[in-house]
Structure 1
Amino acid sequence: MDVYKPAIFSISLGRAVVHSLDLKIDQAAAKGFRGIELAYEDLEFAAKTSFKTDEPSLAELSATTANIRARCDKLGLEVITLQPFLGYDGLLDRDAHALMIEKIHVWFQLAKILGTDMILVPANFLPADQVTGDMELIAADLRELADLGLREDPPVRFAYENLCWSTHVSTWEAAWAVVQLVDRPNFGLCLDTFNIAGRVWADPAAPDGRTPDADMVLKKSLERLVRDVDVRKVFFVQVVDAERMDSPLVEGHPFHVAGQPPRMNWSRNARTFMYEEDRGAYLPVEKIAEAIFDGLRYRGWVSMELFSRTLFEKGPHVVEDHARRGFESWKKLQAKFHLDKQ
């Protein structure tokens, strides 16, 4: 793409889908967004609701997806990606891997109905006894996925995203190394400001919310980003901030969940939009955005992604308020980096 376009994430957390997908789509369009990231879980929940079933069939999923596509078309929204294809790469259980390959063919059908050519694949965050750290095997798994996508008509692209709590691929550097190993034209990166900062700069379990030498480590990482990454392999960008914790996110903290990484629990409960310092936002998102927009000269979709405990609140005003906040954040980002003039 040769222009910047704002998108918003169609949010669902775990199995708790609180707000209807129709409402989210309507508010995204009403507030000025031009696209959405669509969560498979939202589609599944909509199908369950519509057909009053706990296990929607492929036909029921497809019918629901067609209705969602029609709604987006009517409102002038583009579905930029279907996501997240979780728990795929590097599985030690190869029978589980085979089941995921079966699953991706369903996703291909749904993506085609939605009119998107892209599926987001987060780096695996299953426990270390379930996933390999062998980058060659991780790349082989993802190459298999990419090759299947290339056989589709139209071909399907995959955006690979490091999560700051992923088991083995938790930095953009590791994700970029995997992209290079996969070496397929339809396999690239999703760069996420939260996941970049959340690994090398921030630590919700630390008293000051930061890693040692945070500023210098981030500076060097961003210099490498601008120097090493081929911007043509950046398929889209997610811009988001997060709250600094009042106390370290360790056992006893309200967000702590035994057996889960602090960064994952932080991510699920306490993200904010960019420029929301009044809500506790503290990550150096502008520095990362500068590297992406001015350094790499990225053009394309920019998603104002959010996970937060605030989305569990009930009432239509919750979705409206988050959509408004997201677009206000986008307008500030747009003005700061002159994204409307490039």
Structure 2
Amino acid sequence: MKYQPAIMSASLGRAWLHDLDYKLEQAAKSGFKGMEIFYEDLDYAARKIGGSDSPSSDDILKAAEHAQSVCEGLGLDIIGLQPFLFYEGLKDREQHEKLIEKMKFWFRLAKTLHTTTIQIPANFLPADQLTDDLDIIAADLRQVADMGAAENPPICFAYENLCWSTHIDTWEKLWDVTKRVDRPNFGMCLDTFNIAGRVWADPASPTGKTPNADADLKESLERLVKEVDLAKVFYIQVVDAERMESPLVAGHPFHVDGQPARMNWSRNARTFMYEEDRGAFLPAEDVARAIISGLGYKGYVSMELFSRTMAEEGDHVPIEHASRGIKAWEKFQERLQLD
């Protein structure tokens, strides 16, 4: 498969402010070929269908059916459904069983969307609610992988480290868990922000960087190319972020008590690639090169974004985000000489 640009539906604007159909139309018009569907978008679309702030499962399935039809008409592939949150490693096993039932519904959603991939971000609940036992974490993930393998067609899972996840916050830990799960339908989503944002960047630091940022990233990427099995990279997300003008600590506008600085940085201040005018400063291209040129990845490249700019009101928001995203893709495609 050749390289194709994708974008997440939520990257085009907030679900409660911007209509899903309109966001999909702007993505296709700008030149995107793939779409990650965010569950929140389906939930809000379902509220319109059912006329309720608590949409039924049937209404959410109707919203998914409609989204699939719109995407098909626009020539957009739905590359995945995300995010299935707060699943693995729970100490509360009753909640674990509730999420197993929820996953069964997500299988129905995935089939309705005509996608075979569900993304699971690594858990970032407080540490007192989670085990750090990697065997238990892997067993939980193996359970849903086996459930997905029994579906027709089989469901795959893209597990993603977040740079603020409680335990699985680096690609190295992500790869360790993926190997422990050891199922053909279980792989990884590699994200340039979440890799560089952990080993290289620190929004709470006055420098914006970790103490040995450049050397640590270089060594980490060399290990990635040497150790990771390309077959386990299901798709990639390419994204940058702003350098904070002041450390993201108490008193900073983005600070929230009890939440990791990297999480609040991620939610408020990501940028598309190459947006230096917006403060982009991560070595995101270096990470992407390691995955594409080093590992040999081919396939969808998702231009993901989370930012305070998505919460602005108005029809111009999805237009501007789609335009910024495809501009980033075009420069990325040129610089990495992608076919």
For residues 13 and 276 of structure 2, what CA distance do their matches in structure 1 show?
A: 27
TM-score normalised over the length of structure 1: 0.97
For residues 13 and 119 of structure 2, the distance between their equivalents in structure 1, rounded to whole angstroms, comes to 17
Aligned-partner residue type, residue 86 of structure 1: L
2:108 aligned with 1:71: no
Q: Equivalents in 2 of 1:20, 1:12: separation in Å?
A: 13
The whole-number CA distance in structure 1 between the counterparts of 2:48 and 2:56 is 13
Q: CA contact under 8 A between 1:12 and 1:41: conserved in structure 2?
A: no
In the alignment, which residue of structure 1 is the partner of 2:268? 269
Shift of 1:14: 12
Query: Is 2:335 the partner of 1:336?
Result: yes
**How many residues in Structure 1 have an aligned counterpart in Structure 2?**
339
Please say if 1:188 is aligned against 2:218: no
Counterpart residue number, 1:95: 94
SS class of match (2:219): helix
1:191-245 per-residue CA deviation (whole Å, 9 max, x = no partner) reads 0000000000000000010001100000000000000001110000000000000
More displaced stretch, 62-71 vs 160-169: 62-71
Q: Is 1:41 matched up with 2:28?
A: no
Equivalences for residues 227-238 of structure 1 within 5 A: 227-238=226-237
Report the alpha carbon displacement of residue 16 of structure 1 after superposing the two structures with TM.
6.4
Partners of 2:182 and 2:164 lie apart in 1 by 25
SS of the aligned residue for 1:119 comes to strand
Aligned to 1:142: 141
Query: Please, what TM-score do these two structures have when normalized by structure 2?
Result: 0.98
1:17, distance to aligned residue in structure 2 (A): 2.7
Following superposition, which runs of at least 4 residues in structure 1 exceed 6 angstroms of deviation?
12-16
Find the counterpart in structure 1 of residue 114 from structure 2. 115
> 1:17 aligns to what?
16
1:1-342 counterparts in 2 under 5 A? 2-11=1-10, 17-340=16-339
Q: Deviations for 1:70-124, whole angstroms, at most 9, x for unmatched residues?
A: 1001000011000000000100000000000000011000100111000000000
Deviation of the 1:163 alpha carbon? 0.1
Instruction: Report the alpha carbon displacement of residue 50 of structure 1 after superposing the two structures with TM.
Output: 2.1
SS of residue matched to 1:73: helix
The 1:99/1:12 distance shift into structure 2, 3 A limit, reads farther
Q: How many angstroms does 1:51 deviate by?
A: 1.4
Two-structure CA RMSD over aligned residues (Å): 1.3
What is the deviation of 1:63?
1.3
CA–CA separation in structure 2 for the residues paired with 1:279 and 1:241: 10
Question: Which SS does the other structure have where 2:69 is aligned?
Answer: helix
CA contact (8 A) 2:116 2:156 kept: yes
- The 8 Å contact of residues 44 and 61 in structure 1, kept in 2 or not, is answered as yes
In structure 2, distance between residues paired with 1:127 and 1:17: 27
Contact 1:231–1:298 (Cα < 8 Å) also in 2: yes
Contact kept, 8 Å, 2:13 with 2:310, in 1: the verdict is no
CA contact (8 A) 2:161 2:194 kept: yes
SS of residue paired to 1:19: coil
Identity %: 62
CA contact (8 A) 2:12 2:317 kept: no
Contact 2:12 2:321 in 1 (8 A): no
* 3-state SS of 2:10 partner: coil
CA contact (8 A) 1:13 1:268 kept: no
Provide the secondary structure at the position in 2 that maps to 1:251.
coil
1:57 CA drift (Å): 1.5
List alignment gaps of at least 5 residues for structure 1.
none
Runs of 5+ consecutive residues of structure 2 not aligned to the other structure: none
Amino acid at match of 1:269: N
> How much has 1:49 moved relative to structure 2?
1.8
Q: Once the two structures are superposed, what CA deviation does each residue of 1:27-49 show, in whole Å capped at 9, x if it has no partner?
A: 00000000110001110110012
Quick check: 1:272–1:279 contact (8 Å CA) kept in 2? yes
DSSP 3-state at the match of 1:158: strand
| Aligned-partner residue type, residue 43 of structure 1 | L
Letter of the structure 1 residue corresponding to residue 133 of structure 2? D
